[in-house]
Structure 1
Amino acid sequence: MNFVQPIRDLEKLDKIKAYLKMKNERDYVMFLLGISTGLRISDILKLKKEDLLKTHIHIKETKTTKAKRVKIPGYIKKEIVPYAKKLNDGDYVIKSRQGGNKAIDRSTAYRILRDAAEHVNLTEIGTHTLRKTFGYHFYKQTKNIAMLQELFNHSDQHVTKRYIGINQDDLDDAMDKYRI
């Protein structure tokens, strides 16, 4: 399994958004949900039309089976609500093109993300990249690791910092400053 990083560079993040928006609205919405809510890809793929038309997403996490309530940030509502309204009631948001009402699978989500990452020359990419990107930028904006720890249901702040790559950033900065 590859080790993936958050997308730290806001310019590359914007280029991926533009690429996906131009290429496929469904994939763009998947990306937006991942980087804006911090949900795992397995939970994003379970979302249905009705979930996007509310102020909060209510789910039972696939990995932990814990009930979770996540606010949909207002800045993405204008992007995802018009998309959701085009769907039929009960449709999966990230619907497969294979027919029927089925969501894409994780491997398809990975291929979509890998293609977008190649477009901007990113290599350390995976489905967890979306969640890590959310966490990284949430932490950089708020400096509230305790809140992020709770959002992610992590047991320890050190786990959260390592997960979002803050520890690596600190190590990299220290190495840049090191002289002998």
Structure 2
Amino acid sequence: MKQIVKPIKDSWVLKSVQDTLLNDFETGRRNYTIFQVGKATLLRVSDVLRLKKSDVFDENGRVKRNAYIIDKKTKKHNVLYLRPVERDLEDYYDWLKKWQQEHPNQSVFFSEWLFPSFTRPNKHIDGRRYYMIMHTVGDKLHLNYLGTHTMRKTGAYMVYQQT
């Protein structure tokens, strides 16, 4: 059975999804930031998860104005405008740093990946794992249309509504 993934069109539902991502998981700030970056940049989840810290942050930990990547699927060069998620990325950086101080035996903050796996920090979070996170959020909120592509579809829907 193929799952149907739809954009989140209702602002109240969007807020509920964001709140659940942020507050209902130990790694909530990471999960929330993945969603926000995907929604703002319209990237596929595979490209969001493959972002490195050096793509987004400068050597001082400040968010760069733009990120330059090559799409995994299409091999096209892509310029990401990061201003819409600058605050989310700054909050995420601070949270990750604090998390590292509270868990000194795990090297999550020192991973090259922007969204590291907390069980294997030398790798980024897996797409299947992020799907399970989104599925869990959908179960909690009784939404049967959430998936990894939801963030991209929601961002595209919001652009469509504005134009």
Normalization by structure 2: what TM-score? 0.79
Contact 1:49 1:84 in 2 (8 A): no
Instruction: Write the distance in 1 (CA, Å) between the matches of 2:29 and 2:91.
Output: 11
Matched residue, 1:3: 4
Contact 2:111 2:121 in 1 (8 A): no
Does residue 98 in structure 1 map to residue 108 in structure 2?
no
Which string of whole-angstrom CA distances, capped at 9 and with x for unpartnered residues, describes residues 87-145 of structure 1?
A: 7465212211222321111110100111112222211122111111100011101x2xx
Change (3 A) 1:89 1:99: closer
Instruction: Write the distance in 1 (CA, Å) between the matches of 2:109 and 2:118.
Output: 14
Matched residue, 1:14: 15
SS of the aligned residue for 2:145 comes to coil
Identity %: 32
Matched residue, 2:74: 64
The one-letter code of the counterpart of 1:10 is S
Matched residue, 1:79: 88
Q: Which ranges of structure 2 fall in alignment gaps of 5 or more residues?
A: 57-62, 98-107
Instruction: Write the distance in 1 (CA, Å) between the matches of 2:80 and 2:8.
Output: 21
Does residue 27 in structure 1 map to residue 31 in structure 2?
yes
SS of the aligned residue for 2:69 comes to strand
Aligned length: 141
Matched residue, 1:150: none
SS of the aligned residue for 1:70 comes to strand
Instruction: Write the distance in 1 (CA, Å) between the matches of 2:14 and 2:33.
Output: 14
The higher radius of gyration belongs to: 1
Q: Which ranges of structure 1 fall in alignment gaps of 5 or more residues?
A: 144-180
Query: What is the alpha-carbon root mean square deviation over aligned residues?
Result: 1.7
Q: Which has the higher helix share?
A: 1
Instruction: Write the distance in 1 (CA, Å) between the matches of 2:140 and 2:79.
Output: 33
Range with bigger deviation, 63-72 or 88-97: 88-97
Matched residue, 2:51: 47
Higher-RCO chain (CA-CA 8 Å, sequence separation at least 6): 2
